[in-house]
Amino acid sequence: MSRRRHSDESDAGSQPHKRRRTSEPIEIEDRLESLICRVGEKSTSSLESNLEGLAGVLEADLPNYKSKILRISCAVARLLPEKLTVYTTLVGLLNARNYNFGGEFVEAMIRQLKETLKSNLYSEAVYLVRFLSDLVNCHVIAAPSMVAMFENFVSVTQEEDIPQVRSDWYVYVVLSSLPWVGKELYEKKDVEMDRLLNQIEGYLKRRQKTHVPMLQVWTAEKPHPQEEYLDCLWAQVQKLKKDRWQERHILRPYIAFDSVLCEALQHNLPPFTPPAHSDDAVYPMPHVVFRMFDYTDAPEGPVMPGSHSVERFVIEENLRCIIKSHWRERKTCAAQLLSYPGKNKIPLNYHIVEVIFGELFQLPSPPHIDVMYTALLIELCKLQPGSLPQVLAQATEMMYMRLDTMNTTCIDRLINWFSHHLSNFQFRWSWDDWADCLTQDIEKPKPKFVKEVLDKCMRLSYHQRIVDIVPPSFSALIPADPVCSYKYGEEADSSLPGLAMATTVGNAIKNRASNEEILIVLKDVPNPNQDDDDDGGDGFNPLKIEVFLQTLLHLAAKSFSHSFSALAKFHEVLKTLTDSDEGKLHILRVLYEFWRNHPQMISVLVDKLIRTQIVDCAAVANWIFSPEMAHDFTRFYVWEILHSTIRKMNKHVQKIQNELDEAKVKLEKQHNKKQRDSGDEEDMEKNSEDEEGQLEEQIERLQEKVESAQSEQKNLFLVIFQRFIMLLTEHLVRCETSGVDLNTTWYKNGIERLQQIFLMHHVIIQQYMGTLENLLFTAELDHHILAVYQQFCALQL
Amino acid sequence: MSIKLNALFSDSYVDISQYRDQHFKGNRYEQEKLLKQSCSLYVGNLSFYTTEEQVHELFSKSGDVKRIVIGLDKVKKTACGFCFVEYYTRADAEHAMRFINGTRLDDRIIRTDWDAGFKEGRQFGRGKSGGQVRDEYRQDYDPARGGYGKLDPTNVIFTTGT
């Protein structure tokens, strides 16, 4: 059994593989990886002496392990951007000692850059280019060749018929490297650099920014404008240039080695042409720079760098890189954030909190799962119990103050974060500080926020707990006690239709009646919708649904599991009763009526009804937009249900698509096998032909299934968008004709919920743009609503 | 570009623990294989009063929950402080191990661990008194877990502890 790992096969060319004890080379390689990865971490020796020592070790190992060292070095350049300058210094030292290594490293980096661009790994490509540019500072790469690469990048802005996000990226990658290398490049090639910056300025002036409003966390310009990312970066680079490229924040270990490094021979970057645009290229989406703090917010200690200072950019970049590297390990992540080099010169806690909320509120979606940020903030509070909780409280207070202009999607995330966070700290909060919300209309953002937070807090605890934690003055905002509303109970009016039947059904269920028996019992329920009884009573009968479902839910009200069992047991009855679209809508209405004080129960039951195919996704969408739900239309739980429904639909389509792809792969394998085995005995050939036939049939069936599922998916989005358009247009027309300001609280919620559909499901929706534009988002639409669509289109233009 | 830098990118919250179910039908290897693919979690140190609804709300933060089975006292058939949470996908369960394990539910720090998969009977405590083994010999007073432990001196059981 060969113990050679597949990575060794490429070594075979450069050196003969010495068959000593086979474990030794692997151990050494792991050790090399460990040494390289860990340099720069907390140590008793200085960083400089560690780098010096490591360079010596690696130089000695180059004859035998060059390939491995090259690969590890390329990997850390790509995966550990927060330690950029540590590794560029290391490469610089190695290059000074071994010119060939430097050349091969640069070549390997260029290869890696090409691969990342081809694979749509744009953030990693940024790190690679930044690394290359810092290598200019380490005398590994000649400045003019770096400028030439930047010139090639910026010339992408001259390409025609490309998506804006493509040229955006190439401009971004140049600008975002300048904090590191601007000084050096200007010293060597100022004329070219000026020309470059002028070109960039021209591009930035003419690029369109329709997408910006959709991505802003707050609509207000004060206190901190939510700037488009390229605009902000440009302002930062302009300021840096004005300061003659003096940049003092970045840790630059190579400065200590200047005498050694400047003796090294430099390499020229090979001419690099950006790969041409292709249809499967997926460029990063634009974003807006999130700012919530400035120098007035940190009371004592170091001052926060200004919003257009390049230091601010570098700090935010590095903190984001740390989170990107360590998000799976929350304790490590917190520790790494808190040990950020240079932390004594900046109000680090404020930066960390700002970056974390910036990611959490990022539109369309955060880089990582929401709950990670909650867990990370808790770890940070544990590590800095004397300072971080106060900053967090200050941030929460600030966000509360600015709820009026905060994007609804971001408010959702804030509600989820805050309630979950409180549940880890005994729900302690100075609610009285927020007493101002009590005098406002309950639909206004502040009282609404508090109400939704308390709702979520209750879900994580219980009703009495919430009553206990808030001052009595807050009672109007406390959620309802989540008890059910059984209409056929003891207090029911004796003339209520179906009352007697409900008792009969209830007894039948308690006596373990089967589905058939229940259906027979239900046959006697009169249909209030019909005059003649001779259709066999199988059509839509709302009273049947009410009697049965109310009674069933009442008997199973004790817990989720009880209700799930009940739905499963009487699946057949429910399926029969909800055969029509009206039936499906009605079952949701009855469910809502019964559990209207328990939104969590409504959510889980709707989920179950969809998964067991008693209702379909379109029925849920129609129900949410129905007049009966108008009262709850601005409540958070309603949108959670809608988005969960859309996600289920998407997962369903994806699942069948995967099955189809798998079957196709199988078929291809069959073909290949057949070609290899051809010439074998006749019955083997016949068997494989049968298998092929079966597979082909299966693929045809799956193909149909995929098309049908996609049709359902498209229809779901059409229904949702149609209903939005109807509802919002009605409001806009009414306001116009009565001369009332259209910007009501309801309207802000409505239009932002429409936006949210686009943002949260943008990948899928992009597939159906043609249909949407032709059928719904036409030029005849009110421009307020059309603007949302246009902003969405601008995200990937 | 295939190098992964194993030295650095650990995912320790997702690793399987030392605990092995002594009642598992199969050998160690089979159990470990299931644990490494599982979408199910054991959740321990719950209060006896923690409800399915609370568990559902918390664990939904890492993905769609497929099923929750509340652990019961074998004799009393009441909640005895643990449960199983099953997700539809492994990825969602992994997020729970990374971000919900070691945080609070109902004011208690809960602990999650991989489970090889729910089987009928596993919802019952295995302690002699009907609850969990850990409550048999627990010496502290925990009002959310029935007060003092049962402390039957003859009930010396060697487990890897929960």
- Token pair, residue B144, equals 């959310």
Domain that holds residue A721: 645-794
Residues of A in contact with B61 (CB under 8 A): 370-371, 374, 416, 420
Neighbours of B3 (CB within 10 A): 15
The verdict on A459 and A332 lying in the same domain is: no
- Residue-range domains of chain B with CATH: 38-145 (3.30.70.330)
Nearest-angstrom CA–CA distance, A128 and A105: 12
In a domain, A96, yes or no: yes
- Of the candidates A204, A229, A262, which is a domain's last residue? A262
User: Choosing among A120, A328, A455, which should be mutated to test the B contact, i.e. which has the most B CBs within 10 A?
Assistant: A328
Closest C-alpha to B123, from B67, B66, B79: B79
Residues within 8 A of B (CB atoms), A 403-432 only = 416, 420, 423-424, 426
DSSP secondary structure, A405-420, as one string: GB-HHHHHHHHHHHHH
Nearest-angstrom CA–CA distance, A529 and A417: 47
- A32–chain B Cβ distance below 8 A for any pair: no
In a domain, A290, yes or no: no
Picking from B12, B13, B57, the nearest residue to A460 by CB comes out as B57
Residue A733: what are its φ and ψ, rounded to 5°? -65, -45
Q: Are residues A424 and B103, on separate chains, in Cβ contact within 8 Å?
A: yes
* Torsion over CA: B7, B11, B15, B17 (sign): positive
What are the C-alpha distances in Å from A471 to residues A114, A428, A431, A433, A478?
Answer: 61, 12, 7, 11, 10
Nearest-angstrom CA–CA distance, A115 and A110: 9
Q: Which CATH number covers residue A585?
A: 1.25.40.180
First-to-last alpha carbon distance for chain B, in angstroms, is 41
Nearest-angstrom CA–CA distance, A676 and A689: 14
- Distance to chain B for A635, nearest Cα, Å: 17
In a domain, A73, yes or no: yes
Please list, in sequence order, all residues whose beta carbon lies within 8 angstroms of the beta carbon of residue A474, skipping any fewer than 6 positions away.
A431, A438, A450, A454
Picking from B52, B100, B107, the nearest residue to A426 by CB comes out as B107
How many domains are contained in chain A? Answer: 5
- Distance to chain A for B124, nearest Cα, Å: 16
What global pTM score does this model have?
0.93
- Please report, as a single letter, which amino acid is at residue A441: D
The verdict on A690 and A783 lying in the same domain is: yes
The verdict on A572 and A695 lying in the same domain is: no
Residue B113: what are its φ and ψ, rounded to 5°? -150, 155
Picking from A79, A329, A423, the nearest residue to B10 by CB comes out as A329
The verdict on A107 and A174 lying in the same domain is: yes
Nearest-angstrom CA–CA distance, A584 and A605: 13
Nearest-angstrom CA–CA distance, A527 and A449: 43
Residues of A in contact with B7 (CB under 8 A): 30, 33-34, 37-38
Q: Find residue B113's DSSP bridge partners.
A: B42
Q: Are residues A375 and B98, on separate chains, in Cβ contact within 8 Å?
A: yes
The verdict on A457 and A329 lying in the same domain is: no
Picking from A116, A461, A560, the nearest residue to B56 by CB comes out as A560
Picking from B1, B6, B12, the nearest residue to A329 by CB comes out as B12
Contact present, A731 and A747 (Cβ < 8 Å): yes
Contact present, B150 and B156 (Cβ < 8 Å): no
DSSP secondary structure, A743-785, as one string: --HHHHHHHHHHHHHHHHTHHHHHHTHHHHHHHTS-TTS-HHH
- A604–chain B Cβ distance below 8 A for any pair: yes
Residues within 8 A of A (CB atoms), B 71-130 only = 95, 98-100, 103-107
In a domain, A16, yes or no: no
Please list, in sequence order, all residues whose beta carbon lies within 8 angstroms of the beta carbon of residue A582, skipping any fewer than 6 positions away.
A540, A542
Rg (CA), chain B: 16
The verdict on A253 and A195 lying in the same domain is: yes
- Of the candidates A388, A406, A425, which is a domain's last residue? A425
Q: Which pLDDT score is estimated for B137?
A: 86
What are the C-alpha distances in Å from A765 to residues A216, A643, A771, A789?
Answer: 21, 13, 10, 11
The verdict on A456 and A573 lying in the same domain is: no
Q: Which pLDDT score is estimated for A679?
A: 61
In a domain, A700, yes or no: yes
Helices (H), A246-368: 258-261, 310-326, 330-338, 348-360
Nearest-angstrom CA–CA distance, A341 and A330: 19
Report pLDDT digits (tens) over A689-719.
787 888 889 899 999 999 999 999 999 999 9
In a domain, A17, yes or no: no
Neighbours of A110 (CB within 10 A): 16
Helices (H), A461-558: 463-469, 499-510, 515-522, 542-555
Pairing of strands B40-44, B79-87: antiparallel
User: Choosing among B6, B46, B65, B107, which should be mutated to test the A contact, i.e. which has the most A CBs within 10 A?
Assistant: B107
Nearest-angstrom CA–CA distance, A670 and A663: 10
Tell me whether the omega of the peptide bond preceding residue A223 falls within 30 degrees of 0, making it cis.
yes
- A461–chain B Cβ distance below 8 A for any pair: yes
Q: Which pLDDT score is estimated for B10?
A: 86
The residue ranges of chain A whose pLDDT is under 70 are 1-23, 530-538, 677-685, 797
Tokens 């490049």 locate to A185
| Apex A557 CA angle, A556 and A562, nearest 5 | 45
Q: Which pLDDT score is estimated for A75?
A: 93
- B6–chain A Cβ distance below 8 A for any pair: yes
- Distance to chain B for A459, nearest Cα, Å: 6
In a domain, A18, yes or no: no
Torsion of CA A457, A462, A467, A469, to 10 degrees: -50
The verdict on A582 and A470 lying in the same domain is: no
DSSP code at position A2: -
The verdict on A336 and A388 lying in the same domain is: yes
Report pLDDT digits (tens) over B78-88.
999 999 999 99
Is the pLDDT at B5 greater than 90, yes or no?
no
In a domain, A584, yes or no: yes
Nearest-angstrom CA–CA distance, A121 and A777: 33
The verdict on A324 and A439 lying in the same domain is: no
Report pLDDT digits (tens) over A421-465.
999 999 999 999 999 999 999 999 999 999 999 999 999 999 999
The verdict on A761 and A691 lying in the same domain is: yes
Cβ contacts below 8 Å, chain A against chain B, sum to 100
- Distance to chain B for A24, nearest Cα, Å: 17
Nearest C-alpha in B relative to A598: B53
Tokens 């941030």 locate to A395
- Distance to chain B for A80, nearest Cα, Å: 10
Residues of B in contact with A601 (CB under 8 A): 53
The verdict on A379 and A233 lying in the same domain is: no
Picking from B2, B3, B11, the nearest residue to A328 by CB comes out as B11
Picking from A37, A426, A601, the nearest residue to B7 by CB comes out as A37
